[in-house]
Chain A
Amino acid sequence: MTQVCLESVPKPRHWVRKRRFDERCLLVSRGREFEIDSLTENVWRRCDGRASIREIAAQLARAHEMSQRDAEQKSLSTILFLNRIDLLEVQ
């Protein structure tokens, strides 16, 4: 099982792509579609295979005026979920 901490670096699986149709934002993975909310989208957009979860949270905190602690919690839970359904890997 992958150990995930704030220093872990999430990287989208190469077979996953984000698509937007009207107001709906989807992650499409091998023919399956996952509709995501704006928070998940904001986290996903920052997962570039280089930024750590702590750095992603810092960006999120700045962009959405939330505390670093709150942003870390939200980023971590989102990334864990996306990792569990195999939309991204964590290094």
Chain B
Amino acid sequence: MAHHSSTSSVPAEISEFLAKEVAPFLESQELPVDSTTAYASGSLIEGHGNSLSDVDVFLITTGSPPQNLVYDPEGRAQASENCVVAVGYVGDRRVDLEYWHPQRVDELADKVARLDLGDNFVITLSYSEQEFLHRLRVGVPLLRQDLFEQTRSRFDFSRVAMALTLGAVRALDNALDDVSGMLEDDDREAALFRVRDVLGFAVAAWNYHQGSTNPTPKWRMKVLRSLPEDERTKFLIEESLRLQFPSAADLLTNAKRCRDYLESCISLSNRVTEWIMP
């Protein structure tokens, strides 16, 4: 467990953008200086993003987003479960600003410390909490680096990775139950769609088991490829790609081949969970 590196080098173009555009923008905001930290995170920081990806900026502060975002007259702010999100543009690049109240972060630190990772495990971290945790882990400080480091050190990310692993295995189990039922009733089309989730959850579980905390489904393959090379990871990359893209037309018209294919997917997922919990 925990072989996955949480650090990555930020592309030079993004570093420059953060330093020259985003940091001055944040400094110009009327935020309580003593208690506000801010950091950039997300796919661009991790090197997974593309030319259309946005930059995610997290602020841990008692302050609020500006009524009118400086760079976007149409910018809007909306409250979500844990934070307030404001969206704006800096040049052509979209910037999402998430404002988290320090008290909410304290509660989350407490929640992570109290996670029950034993027999009675229940995934209690919401998706937005999972994202927050991962992005704090891989973030690049923009304001008050000392406060940022202090906040980050309050979280045991190996516990987070373990909880995510167990959560992915639980999700995998639900998907396996579905596929098995569909297979028994020869509901091929539904089974072929659902088995893709089986493969996805198997990859996610392996990524988490290797120490990744990235919860975003679209980056599963990139995370898998970023893991240290070993026989198992290599095998999982090859097999999950092969099984994700079968010939659906052939499988829908041939019950025997469809059954064999679905059983191969189940077998791969069983192999992965055997690696995780031998």
Contacts and interface: CB of A to CB of B under 8 A. Distances in A.
B263 to A, nearest CB: 5
A19 B173 CA distance: 10
A20 B270 contact: no
B270 A17 contact: yes
A19 B166 CA distance: 11
Contacts of A19: 169, 173, 273, 277
Contacts of B180: 14-15, 30
Instruction: Give the interface size bracket for B toward A.
Output: 10 to 19
A74 interface: no
A7 B105 CA distance: 61
B263 A14 contact: yes
B266 A28 contact: no
A28 B119 contact: no
A85 B270 CA distance: 20
B277 A20 contact: yes
Contact of B119 (A14, A17, A18, A21): A21
Interface string A12-43: 00110111111010001011000000000000
Contacts, number: 35
A45 interface: yes
Nearest to A13: B180
A6 B173 CA distance: 32
B273 A18 contact: yes
A18 B270 contact: yes
Contacts of B274: 18, 45
Contacts of A28: 173
Contacts of A14: 180, 183, 262-263, 266
A29 to B, nearest CB: 9
Interface in A21-69: 21-22, 24, 28, 30-31, 45
Contacts of A17: 173, 176, 270, 273
A45 B130 CA distance: 34
Interface of A: 14-15, 17-22, 24, 28, 30-31, 45
A17 B272 CA distance: 11
A20 B169 CA distance: 11
B177 interface: yes
A15 B191 CA distance: 13
A22 B119 contact: yes
A41 to B, nearest CB: 10
16 contacts: A14-B262, A14-B266, A15-B177, A15-B180, A17-B176, A18-B273, A18-B274, A19-B169, A21-B118, A21-B119, A21-B121, A21-B277, A22-B118, A30-B180, A31-B177, A45-B274
A20 B278 contact: yes
Contacts of A20: 277-278
B124 to A, nearest CB: 17
Contacts of A22: 118-119
Contacts of B184: 15
Given A14-B180, A14-B263, A17-B173, 19 more contacts: A14-B183, A14-B262, A14-B266, A15-B177, A15-B180, A15-B181, A18-B270, A18-B273, A18-B274, A19-B277, A20-B278, A21-B118, A21-B121, A21-B277, A22-B118, A24-B119, A28-B173, A30-B180, A45-B274
